Amino acid sequence: MRILVSSIFHEGNSFSRLQTGLANFATVHGEALLEKVSQGSSALAGGCRALAAAGADILPGVSAVAPPGGPVEDTVFESLRSEILSGLEAQRPDGVFLDLHGAMVTESLDDPEGALIAAARRALGPQAVIAVSLDLHAHVTPAMLECADIVVACKENPHTDYDLAGERAAGLLVETLQRRVAPVTASVWLPFIFGAQMETGRGPLAALHAKRREMMAADPRLLDISIYNCTTLVDVPDGRQCITAIADSDAEVARAAAVELATLFWQQRDAFVSDFMPLRDALSAVAKGRIARPVILGDQGDRVLAGTPGDGTAILAELAAHWPELEAVVPVTDPAIVVAARQAGIGAEIEEPLGGALSSGVEPFRRRWQVAGLGDGRFVQDGPYLRNEPAMLGDTAILRSGKLTVLAMSLPGFTQDPAAFRSQGIDLADKDVVVVKSGYHFKISFETIGPCLVVDTPGISNYRPGLLPFAKRRPIHPEDAISEPRLTARIFGQLA
Q: Which residues bind Zn ion (CB under 5 A)?
A: 135, 137
Other Cβ atoms within 10 Å of 361 Cβ, number: 9
Determine the Cα–Cα distance for residues 381 and 68; give it in Å rounded to an integer: 16
Q: Least distance (Å) from Zn ion to the CB of residue 271?
A: 20
Q: Could you give the dihedral angle defined by the CA atoms of residues 114, 137, 98 and 216, in that order, rounded to the nearest 10 degrees?
A: -110
Q: Closest CB to Zn ion among 135 and 432?
A: 135
Q: Closest CB to Zn ion among 137 and 255?
A: 137
Q: Least distance (Å) from Zn ion to the CB of residue 121?
A: 25
Q: Closest CB to Zn ion among 189 and 228?
A: 228
In our burial notation (b when 16+ CB lie closer than 10 A, e otherwise), range 226-241 reads bbbbbbbbbbbebbbb
Q: Least distance (Å) from Zn ion to the CB of residue 188?
A: 20
Q: Least distance (Å) from Zn ion to the CB of residue 23?
A: 22
Q: Least distance (Å) from Zn ion to the CB of residue 136?
A: 6
Q: Closest CB to Zn ion among 99 and 135?
A: 135
Cβ-Cβ contacts under 8 Å for 151 (sequence gap 6 or more): 131, 132, 133, 134, 140, 144, 145, 169, 185, 226, 244
In our burial notation (b when 16+ CB lie closer than 10 A, e otherwise), range 31-67 reads eebbebbeebbbbbbbbbbbbeebebebbbbbbbbbb
Q: Least distance (Å) from Zn ion to the CB of residue 281?
A: 28
Q: Closest CB to Zn ion among 176 and 232?
A: 232
Q: Least distance (Å) from Zn ion to the CB of residue 383?
A: 15
CA dihedral (168, 173, 176, 178) positive or negative: negative
Q: Hey, which bits of 237-363 come out as E strands?
A: 241-248, 277-278, 295-299, 328-333, 349-350
Q: Is residue 447 helix, strand or coil?
A: coil
Q: Closest CB to Zn ion among 11 and 334?
A: 11
Determine the Cα–Cα distance for residues 481 and 213; give it in Å rounded to an integer: 33
Q: Closest CB to Zn ion among 137 and 477?
A: 137
Type and span of the H or E element at 338: helix 335-344
Query: DSSP label at 363?
Result: P
Q: Closest CB to Zn ion among 135 and 456?
A: 135
Q: Least distance (Å) from Zn ion to the CB of residue 198?
A: 9
Q: Are 298 and 438 in contact (CB under 8 A)?
A: yes
Q: How far is the CA of 342 from the CAs of 177, 398, 471, in angstroms?
A: 55, 10, 42
**DSSP state string for 132-168:** EEE-TT----HHHHHH-SEEEE---SS---HHHHHHH
Beta bridge partners, 374, equal 397
Q: Could you give the dihedral angle defined by the CA atoms of residues 388, 150, 205 and 196, in that order, rounded to the nearest 10 degrees?
A: 70
Other Cβ atoms within 10 Å of 488 Cβ, number: 12
In the complex, residue closest to Zn ion by CB? 137
Q: Closest CB to Zn ion among 241 and 396?
A: 241
Q: Closest CB to Zn ion among 94 and 199?
A: 199
Q: Least distance (Å) from Zn ion to the CB of residue 440?
A: 8
Q: Hey, which bits of 250-375 come out as E strands?
A: 277-278, 295-299, 328-333, 349-350, 369-375
> Which of 75, 13, 10 has the alpha carbon at shortest distance from 310?
13
Q: Least distance (Å) from Zn ion to the CB of residue 102?
A: 9
Q: Least distance (Å) from Zn ion to the CB of residue 135?
A: 4
Q: Closest CB to Zn ion among 45 and 283?
A: 45
